[in-house]
Amino acid sequence: MKAQESRKVEISRGCADDKQDETMLQKLFQDSPFPDVHIEGARLALRPPHRADGETWIRLREDSRDFLAPWSPEWPREGLNAAMFQRRLRMQADEWRAGRGRYFLIFDKDSGEMLGGINLTRITYGVALTGVVGYWLTEQHVRKGYMTEALSLVLDYAFDRMNLHRIEAGTLPHNTASRGVLEKLGFVEEGLARKYLKIAGVWQDHVIYANLCDDWLRRRPDFNALRLPS
């Protein structure tokens, strides 16, 4: 895996320590909506969203609406549109500059086709050094190993580049596909959070998983194996 950045903002030490500088992150990002971050795996490329991605993002989400809606926050009544995408982009840029979020779209590395998205949110520093991962794929691209690879790349980025200590994920108890991806990559089930998130318009329980930096670095998978379907 390789990550290319125009601004080196995350300190690469392999695991969290007490030298993380949140102020430095904010200063280095204040002159750009997103840094030039590009992460590559065996089949995938991840990068922050661009304004020009809006039309494709909207089409993919709408085409997979029936598939995604049961696992997503309530779908906007007015549907997805360009103005909503631009508001979303501004919010994500603000979160990135503040050091609270990292937002990536997932692309096929060879064809350039957009496949989905993966985000790190609720990033905290100080004595915690944690983040929460969330992700989605279009219906036609599930069960092909793409999310296993994308999540592996984001874990490397979070632990190696951002120097975080712990990455959490919450999933609906009956979302067996998502739970399978998390468990394959070494996430440990830690318990049930009651009415944790409002999904599809209803407050729903979530199973909470976590992966720690030390654990990930000991057993990180061979990226070549990620070519296999999940």
Q: What share of the chain is helix, strand, coil (3-state, %, to 5)?
A: 35, 30, 35
Residue 39 lies in a domain: yes
Whichever domain contains 85, its CATH number is: 3.40.630.30
User: What tens digit of pLDDT does each residue of 134-186 get?
Assistant: 999 999 999 899 999 999 999 999 999 999 999 999 999 999 999 999 999 99
Residue 230 lies in a domain: no
Residue 216 lies in a domain: no
Put residue 14 in one of left, alpha, beta given phi > 0 → left and psi -120 to 50 → alpha. Answer: left
Domain of residue 67, residue span: 2-164
Residue 180 lies in a domain: no
Residue 61 or 14, more confident: 61
Of the pLDDT bands very low, low, confident and very high (cuts 50, 70, 90), residue 200 is confident
Whether residue 228 is predicted with pLDDT greater than 70 in this model: the reply is no
- The total domain count for the chain is 1
With 0.75 as the threshold, say if the pTM is over it: yes
